[in-house]
A and B are shown apart, each in its own frame.
Chain A
């Protein structure tokens, strides 16, 4: 038998799950959330939206294809990851694959986690854990590694912190070439959003979350995804209001959807256990181009990749705004648009990575507005 340390996950309601440690061996704490995707752990782990969270994968096998090399493509953009480091605090699976196999793999998941100081546990019934979180809601958790004193491990609630500020860039950065310039407000942006924009031949200026971008010239504004509670990003909302007055095209993803909604006057709330998966069905409920949906739009559904714990209360949208997409499972908001102006956003992730790429065309829609 493999010589590994045991580890315990303790939830704030007192429930415990026993498993074994891999990756970095140190106790940790965070908010426990589950994801039902069957692939994409390198992307998820580095997704800034998971900042401060303990990621539970319901797919039981983890680590099969190792971890790709940590190389950069354009500037400081990672070639294969969604951020420049792992943002999750820990990852939990049923079964860890100590041996991996993939032509692109440079090292095992365990080695990568260890390098990054991130904890892994396997041997936990993640279906039981997911059901618990589904029934009781997302909650805080602590991971205690064998030999560590539980007293020394503090609970940590990421939702009490401005995670957007924590994960956003500090300086302006530019990517790509093109006649048009897109300002990308970094609330904790996934690198694939930058890739999706530059691939379409525009210049991207990535700015910190609270930067007043209205001072610089731009053709379009893009509000990124990001972690945590949108209430912390009031500075972005304020700037957005100014941008709405300017009237140039605006697009948002995930946190971007929430911040745009807030700027428009709506509110957000925390979901019981969020949407984290590759298979969220979304229906289009308004036209992307005009007041009335075309025949094709009226029947359009998309399989989307999602990762969010907060949602827009679409009943609070002002009259000149409307829902653009709705979740087909629970009816929650999946995107909004302004009825007359070129402003729209999606709660899901058109840039995917990880997950299905079926909605990447929304980037084309945005670019076509510039």
Chain B
């Protein structure tokens, strides 16, 4: 029964994107909001993630850009008085916050009802001990560990559990004393050793090599239960499901296996009392039907977002409705529109999810993958053979790979070891092993990946070897060409396998394969995802392309040229994330509003743009030249928009243009003129616009010569990176040589770009929309940090509060000149350096930038809507207001995921490291800074702060902040030089010692471990070895111990200023529309 008293509902979002909690919650929250809206229930959303779709106009009635913490949520509840709260749609963040609010009595106090799964059930799934007990009640097996204190006890436990077992020393960090044991002898030896580290040892059944399978289960309040999807991990147990390649539906389970686990999942979900959606994860023995339940997530999760996209079943939407008290049978299948929501989707395709890692961006991070998540995004590929889907997916992850085969050879010293200890390259190691004649059985032994997957990969390898037997495309048997396409080979892979060294740059060969295919009639067909495998007619426009089929599900015979194709953003990665999804969705909405058929191409299952109801046609497929052209050929659209999905679509401009695609907005040649460093620089020179001096160089001597002219520091960008970050600032010869020697290649083939690096310069962003070369709307924002911190990591303030009016005027003028010169139509972004009122252009992108949603929402002018209208050739009026009219300030702050990246040095530099962002609005900088810093996980320190403020030249920058800390009663601990500096300036500080001074007391690290420090301010000095060791150890300890860490003087000062001058209680609780 639907509770008629629920008129207003509060939904908690998940905050900034971070590793383990990413775009999937924008999708689930948006769906939940739509479901409430359909019921006429008013919605209040708390989510500081300003780049999300759910925080856009039209989704929630009230939006609060505030931290999702009990403090702020209570304030909002107090103000808004909702009758219900939804906790399941904002990831772990929302769930934890909700549990705390229930425990502290806030929900009872304000009479707020938790809709959906009750908090008691959530607690029973979250608390390991309760969970095991709960499942014991119904004789369902879980993974249990038993604590023992002697060798004999351990042996007894092992006999009870059955070998192999894992032994872990309790209370020991970093896996000290852990290991696998196959028999008594091994166990005795290991436990004896482990007991020497720790008084207690945990013995657990080892499930190494077991399959990992999960089920997405939906239950309503009438106890009706369905499993929407099951999924099987390609990688065996031991690799986090977020790190694993996943297929849906399961491929190696028999009917008996499948339904045994399905029935168990339903039994579990009923017993726990879930109302809504949850997932059940199993470890499943590959040699019997033995199983263990790994965990139950009593909320929407990454897996449920994937399951939704994989099946077409709108899990989040349905879960929200069930939370209101609906029964499943009362809801419709929103894909077919004719059948009931009470059913289990039947797939007639296979889905492969592949994680996207960005480990190369970090110093000191291990590339091995395992039980904790490190990936930053994922892709989903759809095909009608496993080979087709996985090869599509391997292209989609966008790391320079063309599929499973025909890639640039990766360097692996020891294949056996690389197979046993998987890294982010694991699948390509398998390809390498197959090339080295490893048998499927051998690879299975080393990886424990089910042979079925390996056989299918072997098929791809065999086909590539067959293709390699031919030397020219003309003699290729058509049947072999077709087989290759059915196994997901791209035209490029085919060209490379046949032409080998004769390939050239590939582009021309690509087109030759394409022409050949067309001549032979080897073309992909478009299929619908209809949830019922064609059993009933479906009115769905959720589509994918495949070579395993003979007819289209869509009639393309009479093109009406009314389609506008929008290219999406692809996998989330560091540097391209939910902000481009917001841009894509807004472009689609405008296209639709203007009466065109909106068509999306994207393959990221975490996005809103890939929701079936966001556009008229969704092609869940690759954003490669080949696939986009396939779709262009079928759709024959009026035009295509490349400028809202980030760099991936932008990179296709020239090639699509060459094939006659009508690119809406700025022309491909202008895009090329902005992207090509040489052309762009020459243009700026012609226009008399200043830029930092730079040169592209091929020898060390030339580099030295250039530096002699411009002086240190310089920014060095190699085109071929051996290891570590791709860019670096070098302050002296020593650093330059070390960087180039260790990290990069310099040669004719791999030139290095060296630029003058201007210190203590402001960095300014110009986000704008132009039409026919004239700027229509713009937003200028300033970085809090000085230039040198990547714009994606910087804290950005809009409107700018500390820019000279004259600087602003110059930026406007120069931007107008550039817009005119490039004849821009659509969105663009220019980055500037400003020092003493002089400005230099650093970069120009003729596409939407990361900050578009932020400035659009703060300004309350949707720049993408304007840009889309401009690109469609409509007259666009200049908006009447500008940034000077705003009575408030927006701050965009970055979210880092260093905690997940064991070993990574949490410093900021010229390469981007953040995984997400928030944007908060306040009456002034301090209020906005405070909200946004709290929203990305900082806490206001209680008593004491540890300062190491860099070199003598750097130290004055934080002196004011230190005064403020002192005046507000904080105890300041400081390392040697900083302590002396503070004392000399009249600030008392307690001296602490670096790790390199182990004989001295107190040790900084000890203070951190003993929780004596609430905030660490550590400004890295330089890149010398001792500094790196000392500073790194302190920074890393802060991250590992979850103590807030600041490494930038300007940001630290702003944050300290904010919390020392503004009490938390004085923060205004205002929704977006109240500003």
What residues of chain A have their CB less than 8 Å away from a CB belonging to chain B? 1, 17, 34, 36-40, 42-43, 58-61, 64-65, 68, 80, 94-95, 97-104, 124-128, 130-131, 134, 277-281, 283, 296, 299-301, 303, 328-329, 352-358
- Contact A102 B252, CB 8 Å, known A36-B535, A299-B224, A301-B342: yes
Contacts of A358 in B (CB 8 A): 225, 263, 266
Alpha-carbon distance A189/B1074, docked complex (angstroms) = 70
**Does B347 have its Cβ within 8 Å of any Cβ on chain A?**
yes
Contacts of A126 in B (CB 8 A): 348
Asked whether B347 lies within 8 Å of A94 as measured between CB atoms, the reply is no
Closest residue of chain B to A305, judged by CB? Answer: B259
Contacts of A352 in B (CB 8 A): 259
Contacts of B386 in A (CB 8 A): 61
Asked whether B533 lies within 8 Å of A130 as measured between CB atoms, the reply is yes
Q: Which B residues from 440 to 460 make CB contacts under 8 A with A?
A: 440, 450-452, 455-456
- Those 7 A-B pairs whose CB atoms lie nearest each other, nearest first: A40-B255, A99-B455, A299-B222, A101-B452, A36-B533, A36-B346, A58-B533
Contacts of B385 in A (CB 8 A): 60-61, 94-95
For this complex, 10 residue pairs linking A to B, each with C-beta atoms less than 8 Å apart, are: A36-B533, A36-B534, A60-B349, A125-B525, A278-B346, A280-B343, A299-B327, A303-B226, A358-B225, A358-B263
Contacts of A328 in B (CB 8 A): 329, 339-340, 342-343
**Does B853 have its Cβ within 8 Å of any Cβ on chain A?**
no
Q: Which B residues from 502 to 528 make CB contacts under 8 A with A?
A: 525, 527
Asked whether A356 lies within 8 Å of B259 as measured between CB atoms, the reply is yes
Contacts of B338 in A (CB 8 A): 329
Closest residue of chain A to B336, judged by CB? Answer: A329
Q: How far is the CB of B134 from chain A (nearest CB, A)?
A: 22
Interface centre among B344, B348, B451 (most CB of A within 10 A): B348
Alpha-carbon distance A73/B338, docked complex (angstroms) = 44
- What secondary structure prevails in chain B residues at the interface with A? loop
Asked whether A356 lies within 8 Å of B262 as measured between CB atoms, the reply is yes
Alpha-carbon distance A80/B289, docked complex (angstroms) = 14
Asked whether B534 lies within 8 Å of A130 as measured between CB atoms, the reply is yes
Asked whether A355 lies within 8 Å of B533 as measured between CB atoms, the reply is no
Interface bits B229-259 vs A (CB < 8 Å: 1, else 0): 0000000000000000000010111111011
Asked whether A101 lies within 8 Å of B451 as measured between CB atoms, the reply is yes
**Does B592 have its Cβ within 8 Å of any Cβ on chain A?**
no
Asked whether B452 lies within 8 Å of A100 as measured between CB atoms, the reply is yes
Closest residue of chain A to B527, judged by CB? Answer: A127
Alpha-carbon distance A131/B466, docked complex (angstroms) = 35
Alpha-carbon distance A189/B223, docked complex (angstroms) = 32
Alpha-carbon distance A38/B340, docked complex (angstroms) = 20
Asked whether A281 lies within 8 Å of B259 as measured between CB atoms, the reply is no
Q: How far is the CB of A49 from chain B (nearest CB, A)?
A: 16
Asked whether A303 lies within 8 Å of B344 as measured between CB atoms, the reply is yes
**Does B286 have its Cβ within 8 Å of any Cβ on chain A?**
yes
Cross-chain contact of B384 among A95, A104, A355, A357 (Cβ < 8 A):
A95
Closest residue of chain B to A133, judged by CB? Answer: B534
Contacts of A99 in B (CB 8 A): 440, 451-452, 455-456
Asked whether B329 lies within 8 Å of A127 as measured between CB atoms, the reply is no
Q: Which B residues from 522 to 567 make CB contacts under 8 A with A?
A: 525, 527, 532-537, 548-551, 553
Alpha-carbon distance A353/B257, docked complex (angstroms) = 11
Contacts of B535 in A (CB 8 A): 36, 58, 130, 134, 277
Asked whether B328 lies within 8 Å of A301 as measured between CB atoms, the reply is yes
Asked whether A353 lies within 8 Å of B533 as measured between CB atoms, the reply is no
Asked whether A60 lies within 8 Å of B288 as measured between CB atoms, the reply is no
Asked whether B344 lies within 8 Å of A353 as measured between CB atoms, the reply is no
Asked whether B344 lies within 8 Å of A278 as measured between CB atoms, the reply is yes
- Contact A301 B480, CB 8 Å, known A281-B342, A352-B259, A358-B266: no
Asked whether A104 lies within 8 Å of B254 as measured between CB atoms, the reply is yes
Closest residue of chain B to A19, judged by CB? Answer: B550
Asked whether B455 lies within 8 Å of A303 as measured between CB atoms, the reply is no
Interface centre among A39, A130, A300, A357 (most CB of B within 10 A): A39
**Does B483 have its Cβ within 8 Å of any Cβ on chain A?**
yes
Q: How far is the CB of A202 from chain B (nearest CB, A)?
A: 23
Q: How far is the CB of A15 from chain B (nearest CB, A)?
A: 11
Q: How far is the CB of A90 from chain B (nearest CB, A)?
A: 19
Contacts of B344 in A (CB 8 A): 278-279, 303, 356
Interface bits B260-295 vs A (CB < 8 Å: 1, else 0): 001100100000000000000000001110000000
Closest residue of chain A to B223, judged by CB? Answer: A296
Cross-chain contact of B329 among A40, A43, A97, A299 (Cβ < 8 A):
A299
Cross-chain contact of A38 among B222, B249, B329, B548 (Cβ < 8 A):
B249
Contacts of A300 in B (CB 8 A): 222, 224
Alpha-carbon distance A17/B440, docked complex (angstroms) = 34
**Does B345 have its Cβ within 8 Å of any Cβ on chain A?**
yes
Closest residue of chain B to A279, judged by CB? Answer: B344
Closest residue of chain A to B477, judged by CB? Answer: A1
Told that A36-B535, A329-B340 touch, could you supply 12 new A-B pairs with CB distance under 8 A?
A1-B477, A1-B479, A1-B483, A95-B385, A99-B456, A100-B452, A102-B252, A281-B343, A299-B224, A300-B222, A301-B224, A303-B342
Alpha-carbon distance A68/B256, docked complex (angstroms) = 11
Q: How far is the CB of B246 from chain A (nearest CB, A)?
A: 16
- Contact A60 B252, CB 8 Å, known A127-B534, A328-B340, A328-B342: no
Q: How far is the CB of A328 from chain B (nearest CB, A)?
A: 4
Q: Which B residues from 298 to 353 make CB contacts under 8 A with A?
A: 327-329, 338-340, 342-350
Contacts of A127 in B (CB 8 A): 348, 527, 533-534, 549, 553
Contacts of B327 in A (CB 8 A): 299, 301
Q: How far is the CB of B335 from chain A (nearest CB, A)?
A: 13
Contacts of B329 in A (CB 8 A): 281, 283, 299, 301, 328
Alpha-carbon distance A34/B549, docked complex (angstroms) = 16
Contacts of A17 in B (CB 8 A): 550
Asked whether B534 lies within 8 Å of A131 as measured between CB atoms, the reply is yes
Alpha-carbon distance A43/B483, docked complex (angstroms) = 30
Q: How far is the CB of A351 from chain B (nearest CB, A)?
A: 12
Asked whether B222 lies within 8 Å of A296 as measured between CB atoms, the reply is yes
- Contact A37 B346, CB 8 Å, known A104-B254, A299-B329, A356-B259: yes
Q: How far is the CB of A107 from chain B (nearest CB, A)?
A: 14
Asked whether A329 lies within 8 Å of B343 as measured between CB atoms, the reply is yes
- Contact A279 B263, CB 8 Å, known A101-B451, A125-B551, A299-B327: no
Asked whether A61 lies within 8 Å of B343 as measured between CB atoms, the reply is no
Asked whether A128 lies within 8 Å of B551 as measured between CB atoms, the reply is yes
Q: How far is the CB of A62 from chain B (nearest CB, A)?
A: 11
Contacts of A303 in B (CB 8 A): 226, 342-344
Interface centre among A36, A37, A60, A299 (most CB of B within 10 A): A60
Asked whether A94 lies within 8 Å of B548 as measured between CB atoms, the reply is yes
Asked whether A128 lies within 8 Å of B348 as measured between CB atoms, the reply is no
Asked whether B346 lies within 8 Å of A277 as measured between CB atoms, the reply is yes
Contacts of A355 in B (CB 8 A): 255, 259
Q: How far is the CB of B1031 from chain A (nearest CB, A)?
A: 51
Cross-chain contact of A64 among B223, B252, B548 (Cβ < 8 A):
B252
Contacts of A299 in B (CB 8 A): 222, 224, 327, 329
Asked whether B253 lies within 8 Å of A65 as measured between CB atoms, the reply is yes
Contacts of B548 in A (CB 8 A): 60, 94-95, 125
Alpha-carbon distance A64/B386, docked complex (angstroms) = 11
- Contact A39 B255, CB 8 Å, known A59-B348, A125-B548, A279-B346: yes
Alpha-carbon distance A357/B477, docked complex (angstroms) = 48
- Contact A65 B345, CB 8 Å, known A58-B533, A95-B385, A127-B549: no
Closest residue of chain B to A43, judged by CB? Answer: B255
- Contact A39 B254, CB 8 Å, known A1-B483, A99-B455: yes
Closest residue of chain A to B328, judged by CB? Answer: A301
Contacts of A357 in B (CB 8 A): 259, 263
Alpha-carbon distance A104/B477, docked complex (angstroms) = 39
Asked whether B226 lies within 8 Å of A38 as measured between CB atoms, the reply is no
Interface centre among A38, A65, A99, A283 (most CB of B within 10 A): A38
Q: How far is the CB of A332 from chain B (nearest CB, A)?
A: 13
Cross-chain contact of A128 among B253, B346, B450, B550 (Cβ < 8 A):
B550
Contacts of B483 in A (CB 8 A): 1
